Structure 1
Amino acid sequence: MGSLSSTGSSCASALRSAVRSGARSYAVPSFAPSAASPFSVFDRNLKVAQRDRAARNKERSRLTDYVKDDVAQSMVDRLLDIKRRYPVVLDVGSGPGFLSKHVDPEITQKMILVDPSREMLYRDADLESEVPLERIHLDEEALASHFDENSHECIMSCLSMHWVNDLPGTLIQIKRTLKPDGVFIGAMFGGDTLFELRTALQLAENEREGGISPRVSPMTDSQSVTSLLNRAGFALSTVDVDEIQIAYPSIYELIDDLKWMGEGNAVVNRRKTLSPETLYAAGEIYKELHGLEDGSIPATFQIMHMIGWKPDPSQPKPAKRGSGTTNLADAIGEGHKPLSDS
């Protein structure tokens, strides 16, 4: 998602504040698969290596969980909005277990964590959890190789699918794994995520190096994700967009945190280096275009929440056209008169 370059500045957590703004009706992210795919946008092996590296430094990595923890809490709230309870929840792209931090035995009796990064998957294995956890080292794009069809009632995914190359195929596998009338609850980064960083890097690189390169991952919009859910065969699908804004002391702390989140740039055709001069220029442009009054800079994380259900005959269906039994005039009232043509 973000640039790989870093100057190793400290976290400065006390200077960061997360502010959730109202939902908006647009954009969100796109994701990653196998590097062997002819349609690969992301280098999946590199992404696993980045996340493994981040997880090995447990203390530093845990300090950067703030965005995913916030989104995980919001996702569990959405799970609680569903009247039924699920004994087992399958967490796809789980990381160390962001969702599991926010559940208890009244919500579910077990969570199965699936992640392609073994180091990240087991990063918090030494911490206690309120519900039993089963960890499976598995790529999100290979669910069908491990889980039977119609085997789970609830599948969730918290901020991992923006690195999936074959997003339609992954959604189809999730739907296949669900039991009829099972639910998928997911969240992905959206199209406006890190737009401030993207524009600052592009302007600086164009000015200093005479061209631009992909420094922030491409992302899709909410309409496209709705279409993908429908294409995968989900019923009653809904998508809504939210935003989280974090204040950082400078571009260096932002990039450093992205590194320890495991969210460094993994675009296949990325440039592997970024000169210190270009990064410095990007920091100055960032402050000039987006800087806050206190001297810090904002970073926007756009979150697209989605819910889809595996079709089942028991689900409500729209009434057939022409099947209405109420006269429109009766519904409006006898005193209503039609508009005059004059």
Structure 2
Amino acid sequence: MRQSINPVINGKTWDTDCAILSFPMMLLISNKHICCSCVKRLSSGTVNVFNRAAKKRHRDLMAKLENIETYEYLRMEMAERLTDRLADIARQFDRALDLGCGRGYLSSMLDPDDVNEFYQCDLSSRLLDRAIPSTINRTKSCHIDEERIEFEKDFFNLVLTCGSLHWVNDLPGLMHRVMRTLVPDGVFLGSMLGGDTLFELRTAIQLAEQELENGFGPHVSPMVNMPDMGRLLHQAGFKMITVDVDEICVRYPDMRDLMADLCKMGEASCTWNKKPSLRRDTIVLAATKYREMYGNEDSIPATFQTINFIGWKPHPSQPKAKPRGSAEISFIDQFRQEAAKNDTVKDS
């Protein structure tokens, strides 16, 4: 599926004509390999790639922007797509939770008839203070790190997340905590940035650093790929799992405008021991290579990938696959019957 959105950069609207997605600045140089110097390990054994305190500062700085709406086009687009998916579930939810809500993008788009009570939590209290008005009358904002949520067991019927899980260190632990807080037959529906996000930016900076500095630095923000997301949900105990990938391609005047926008979105890198900055000549060369390889005289594309997923907490009422070997007719016989019917129709 290919769709586009129109961001406003420096007061000017730029057309988008590619696919569906979203993400940060000089942070995504490699999504395949993690530099060992960028990884810490918590006492619990969890790999600690991201500095959550730094990410909180990034979001707090974003909350100070007077024109904050200018830089929310990706989160708003992702939220709109997620609410469309939620509308396909024909049921009303008593309690719902939004993990990493930002300024409450989802709460501003939900149908008030679908949710009775809505909780939204985020790492930044300043973003919550500037929350967009919610369509749900009973909306509660909670200043909680989405990586360490602790709610009652069997409390929520629905857990949502949109555009924040790519900064979580302990994704397996988060999945188990979400499973615990969901009621039986509750649903976990979300969208997060995937591994192919900003591949154009990663490639351009890699080539420039290799040429000028004889090697590229650890501008690393490792992200989950689609198969990994399915495995994480399955390991946490979710059933009836569905995972798919979308892309959003946004066009910018120049690579520098893209990088500046990503910082103002609160998406700058927060990996441990990351390279503090890029050399000026490296940025100039990277911008040139970016335009030569992917752009044109007017603009450059930036591709953002979103991984969309849904999983259900087990319940006896859910459909179950029949035991292996219980089929009464083989697929081969079924195909032969269909082929015979088609031949008969053609002959007549």
Does the alignment reach a TM-score above 0.5? yes
Q: Match for residue 209 of structure 1?
A: 213
Q: Select 1:128's aligned residue among 129, 133, 139.
A: 133
Q: Residues 233-287 of structure 1, C-alpha deviation per residue, up to 9 Å, x if partnerless?
A: 1111110000000000001110111011100011113111222221111111111
Question: Do 1:29 and 1:189's aligned partners in 2 also have CA atoms closer than 8 Å?
Answer: no
Supply the distance in 2 between the matched residues of 1:158 and 1:335 (Cα, whole angstroms).
45
Task: Write the mapping of 1:160-239 to structure 2, written as runs, cut at 5 A.
Answer: 160-239=164-243
Amino acid at match of 1:12: N
Q: 1:322 aligns with which of 310, 320, 325?
A: 325
Cα pair 1:20 1:242 within 8 Å, conserved: no
Contact 1:58–1:123 (8 Å) recurs in 2:
no
Native 8 Å contact 2:20 2:304 kept in 1:
no
Task: Map Cα deviations across residues 171-205 of structure 1 (whole Å, 9 max, x no partner).
Answer: 11111110000000011101110001111111112
Alpha-carbon distance change, 228 to 288 in structure 1, aligned in 2, over 3 angstroms: same
> Residue 282 of structure 1 aligns with which residue?
286
Aligned to 1:100, what secondary structure does the other structure show? coil
- The aligned counterpart of 2:345 is none
Indicate which of 91, 94, 117 corresponds to 1:87: 94
Q: 1:19 touches 1:245 (CA, 8 Å); kept in 2? A: yes
Count of aligned pairs: 317
Deviation at 1:36, TM superposition (A): 4.5
Q: How does 1:82-161 map to 2 (within 5 A)?
A: 82-124=89-131, 127-132=132-137, 133-144=139-150, 147-161=151-165
Residues in 2 aligned to 1:142 and 1:334: alpha-carbon distance in whole angstroms: 54
TM-score (norm 2): 0.84
Structure 1 residues 325 and 13, CA gap change in structure 2 (3 angstroms): farther
Give the aligned residue type for 2:19.
Answer: S
Q: Secondary structure of 2:273's match?
A: coil
Tell me whether 1:65 sits opposite 2:65 in the alignment. no
**Closer, same or farther in 2 for the Cα pair 1:329/1:29, shift >3 Å?**
closer
| Structure 2 residues without counterparts, runs of 5 or longer | 1-7, 22-30, 34-38, 341-348
Compared CA separation, residues 81 and 111, structure 1 to 2 (3 A): same
Q: What is the DSSP-based 3-state SS (H/G/I as helix, E as strand, rest coil) of the residue aligned with 1:98?
A: coil
Q: Which amino acid aligns with 2:134?
A: S
Matched, 1:242 2:240: no
Deviation at residue 163 of structure 1 after TM alignment: 0.2
SS of residue paired to 2:161? strand
Distance 1:196 1:329 in 2: 45
Q: CA deviation at 1:329?
A: 8.3
Equivalent of 2:57 in 49, 59, 66: 49
| Partner Cα separation in structure 2 for residue 162 and residue 219 of structure 1 | 6
Aligned residue among 311, 317, 329 for 1:308: 311
Alignment check: 8 A CA contact 1:152 1:177 kept: yes
SS in 2 for 1:154: strand
- The reply on whether 1:263 has 2:271 as its aligned counterpart is no
Does the aligned pair in 2 maintain the 1:29–1:190 contact within 8 Å? Answer: no
Backbone CA RMSD of aligned residues: 2.7
In structure 1, stretches of 5+ residues that fail to align are: 1-9, 337-342
Q: Partners of 2:315 and 2:306 in 1: how far apart?
A: 29
Q: CA deviation at 1:118?
A: 1.2
CA contact (8 A) 1:56 1:123 kept: no
Task: Report the Cα offset of residue 130 of structure 1.
Answer: 2.0
8 Å contact kept, 1:12–1:249 = no
Aligned residue for 1:42, secondary structure, equals coil
